[in-house]
Amino acid sequence: MAKKYFSRRQFVTTMAVGAGTVLFGKTARALSVSSSAASDNSFPIITLGKTGIKTTLLGMGTGFSGYNRSSNITRAGVAETIIRQAYEKGIRFFDCADSYGTHPYTAAALKGIPRDNYTLSTKMWVSKEGLPEPERPDADIVIERFRKELKTDYIDLVQIHCMTEPQWTDKYKKQMDILENLKAKNIIRAHGVSVHSLEAMEACVGNPWIDVVHVRVNPYGEAMDKNDPALVVPVIEKLHKEGKGIVGMKLIGNGKFRNDSGKIDASLQYVLGLGTVDMIIVGFELPEQIDNYTGRINSALKKGK
């Protein structure tokens, strides 16, 4: 397959569609950055949409190449270690999922740390394939298991995982209602969806149930809902304007850019510069990667001032 290259003209055009300004023109306002910092690394603290959840601009994804209750870090036997190191280096948002199998490792890594010092996000899998067992219990049963696995009284964010169908809000209305009830009981603080198609993302627009959306975004169209970011970015902007929390994922093209320093920096600058993404998550596998991205993000933010 031929490599994809994002021309300077395409990059600028997409920026104009998504941000209406130059890089970082609206970053400080759009990220809702407070004057506080998470640690010596000085990660900015953001507010996730209208949820009231405050956490770090950079979060750790625990599910790189995640499926069937495993991911790269669980298969490598480093999940607990890398999650703890991420916390010690200032990251306060940990993105889990049932399909990643990282709940117990996350609980072990964060053991002894006050619960209000970090944000737990996870996702429930509702599709037929993707988990070892065929049963898909209702959300209340699933979330009760999640709480036990994570060793927590409450979960900050629960999402329906990997939606692709344009009618997903109708198909999974029962689970959405159960999650709404769990939020009313303070068992979860917010709910939402992780989308894997443009049609599924468009179904989020105007839907008041959705608090937070995980969106795939980078300037190259790699591992995104459409390979042309100019088609995706305006939908993200609509969701942001509605007050939905926006979590950016696949900034590194699902790992495709991991060895291309220029593309990594361009992607970070692009996504942060959109002014519509509240926070970003990266799937770290080594502690040095955390330091690397910390430096890149802080450098990009300084350039945007």
pLDDT tens digits along 145-192: 999 999 999 999 999 999 999 999 999 999 999 999 999 999 999 999
What is the predicted pLDDT for the residue at 3?
Answer: 35
Model confidence over 57-76: pLDDT tens digits?
A: 999 999 988 889 999 999 99
Output the six-digit token pair for 38. 């998470």
For residue 10, being part of any structural domain is answered with: no
- Cα–Cα distance between 66 and 251 in angstroms, integer? 16
Q: Say whether 191 sits in a helix, a strand or coil.
A: strand
For residue 117, being part of any structural domain is answered with: yes
Q: What angle do CA 64, 7, 272 make, to 5 degrees?
A: 50
Residue 257 has pLDDT above 80, yes or no: yes
Amino acid at 226: K
Is the CB of residue 83 less than 8 Å from the CB of residue 107?
A: no
What is the predicted pLDDT for the residue at 40?
Answer: 44
94-116 average pLDDT score? 98
For residue 295, being part of any structural domain is answered with: no
Q: How many domains does the chain have?
A: 1
What is the predicted pLDDT for the residue at 21?
Answer: 29
Query: Could you tell me the residue range of the domain that residue 34 belongs to?
Result: 26-277
Residue 36 has pLDDT above 90, yes or no: no
- With tokens 């991911």, the residue in question is 71
272-290 average pLDDT score? 94
pLDDT band at 17 (very low <50, low <70, confident <90, very high): very low
For residue 224, being part of any structural domain is answered with: yes
pLDDT band at 106 (very low <50, low <70, confident <90, very high): very high
Residue 100 has pLDDT above 80, yes or no: yes
Residue 248 has pLDDT above 80, yes or no: yes
What is the predicted pLDDT for the residue at 65?
Answer: 85
- Cα–Cα distance between 209 and 206 in angstroms, integer? 9
What is the predicted pLDDT for the residue at 304?
Answer: 65
31-45 average pLDDT score? 50
270-275 average pLDDT score? 94
Residue 13 has pLDDT above 90, yes or no: no
Average pLDDT of the chain, as a whole number? 87
For residue 7, being part of any structural domain is answered with: no
Contacts (Cβ under 8 Å, ≥6 apart) of 9: none
Residue 33 has pLDDT above 70, yes or no: no
What is the predicted pLDDT for the residue at 42?
Answer: 60
* Least trusted range by pLDDT, from 119-123, 193-197, 269-273: 269-273
For residue 300, being part of any structural domain is answered with: no
Q: What is the DSSP string of 232-281?
A: HHHHHHHHHHTT-EEEEE-TTTTTTTTT-HHHHHHHHHHHHHTS---EEE
What is the predicted pLDDT for the residue at 298?
Answer: 84
For residue 136, being part of any structural domain is answered with: yes
For residue 298, being part of any structural domain is answered with: no
What is the predicted pLDDT for the residue at 43?
Answer: 81
Residue 4 has pLDDT above 70, yes or no: no
What does each C-alpha distance from 281 to 169, 251, 294 come to in angstroms?
A: 25, 8, 12
**In CATH, what number is assigned to the domain containing residue 197?**
3.20.20.100
What is the predicted pLDDT for the residue at 26?
Answer: 35
Kindly report the pTM of this predicted structure.
0.88
Residue 52 has pLDDT above 70, yes or no: yes
